[in-house]
């Protein structure tokens, strides 16, 4: 009985996701280009379980990631997300039934939640991609100033131009203790939209305004991340966001990311057959 109920929930979740994709691709005609810096990144993307370390600049980041996953027929995308979203009608229920991991932003509680939740996801037969936005909140000028002040107070040797200071405890926990799938990988994910053409927003999707997302995807083998102590993992995360900063500089200058671009065609024709 319980199995049948869960199957029904997941079927309903899949239907909601298909409706979101219909709005993104069929209604608004929005597109996506993924830039792969090497063959390992291109061939591994969507074909192995992974933690996706992404920036969080736009309110539609998660939808763009969903579009990128479905473009390669990898629908199992989960999110680390604030627990408050669980109670948002439709969206929150979809995330909950879709097995996203809800966090309290209370480390005493979250440190006990992350490991078991990931362990359950890694048991899926098909690859599962779990998105972690380590900045914790969307970039705004005010949040950026506050983030920089916090870094100065903590004497952190990092200064970014386009990102907030990442929160590192959750990633340290995953790498050092709870990354239970030895075949999984980490991907450096960088979103960007050409903001000189249109301000990226959910409302644009609803109003049928096309938006084009550029997405940089770099595979990082889990065993290449220094994990002998917490400080080394923290340094890795801070360094990764330095890379993201340079990637954003490149995008601002060229409106592209370095690497081989793959232009994915909308898959909306498959949604109705």
The structure's pTM equals 0.85
Pinpoint the alpha helices (H) of 137-229: 141-153, 169-173, 202-207
CA neighbor of 57 nearest in space, from 265, 185, 241, 233: 241
The pair of three-digit structure tokens given for residue 95, joined into one six-digit string: 């995330």
Evaluate whether 259 touches 35 at the Cβ level (below 8 Å).
Answer: yes
Q: Given CA atoms 126, 51, 32, 67 in this order, what sign does their dihedral have?
A: positive
CA neighbor of 228 nearest in space, from 168, 177, 178, 166: 177
Domains of the chain, start order: 1-264 (3.40.1130)
Cβ contacts of 7 within 8 Å, gap of 6 or more: none
Cβ contacts of 29 within 8 Å, gap of 6 or more: 208, 210, 266
pLDDT digit of tens for each residue in the chain (273 aa)?
A: 434 444 444 545 666 677 777 878 888 888 999 999 999 999 988 888 888 999 998 888 888 888 888 777 666 788 887 777 676 766 666 776 677 788 877 778 888 888 888 888 878 878 888 888 889 888 999 999 999 999 999 888 888 999 999 988 888 888 876 555 556 789 999 999 988 888 899 899 889 999 999 999 999 988 888 888 888 999 999 999 999 999 999 999 999 999 999 987 665 444 433
């Amino acid at each position: 009985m319980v199995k049948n109920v869960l199957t029904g929930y997941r079927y309903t979740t899949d239907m909601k996701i298909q409706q979101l994709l219909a709005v993104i691709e069929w209604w608004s005609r929005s597109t996506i280009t993924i830039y792969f810096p090497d063959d390992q990144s291109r061939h591994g993307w969507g074909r192995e379980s992974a933690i996706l370390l992404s920036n969080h600049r736009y309110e539609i980041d998660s939808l763009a990631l969903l579009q990128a996953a479905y473009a390669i027929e990898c629908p199992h995308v989960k999110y680390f997300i604030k627990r408050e979203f669980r109670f948002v009608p439709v969206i929150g229920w979809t995330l909950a039934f879709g097995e996203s991991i809800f966090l309290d932003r209370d480390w005493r509680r979250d440190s006990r939640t992350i490991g078991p939740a990931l362990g359950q996801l890694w048991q899926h037969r098909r690859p599962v991609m779990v998105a972690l936005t380590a900045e914790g909140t969307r970039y705004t000028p005010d949040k950026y100033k506050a983030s920089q002040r916090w870094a100065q107070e903590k004497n952190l040797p990092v200064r970014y131009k386009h990102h907030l200071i990442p929160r590192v405890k959750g990633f340290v926990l995953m790498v050092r203790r709870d990354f239970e799938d030895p075949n999984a990988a980490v991907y450096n994910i960088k979103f960007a939209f050409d903001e000189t053409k249109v301000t990226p927003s959910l409302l644009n999707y609803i109003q049928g305004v096309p938006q084009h997302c550029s997405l940089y995807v770099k595979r990082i083998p889990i065993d290449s991340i220094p994990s002998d102590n917490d400080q080394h993992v923290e340094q890795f995360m801070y360094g990764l966001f330095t890379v993201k900063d340079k990637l954003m500089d490149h995008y601002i200058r060229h409106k592209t990311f370095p690497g081989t671009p793959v232009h994915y065609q909308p898959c909306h024709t498959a949604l109705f057959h």
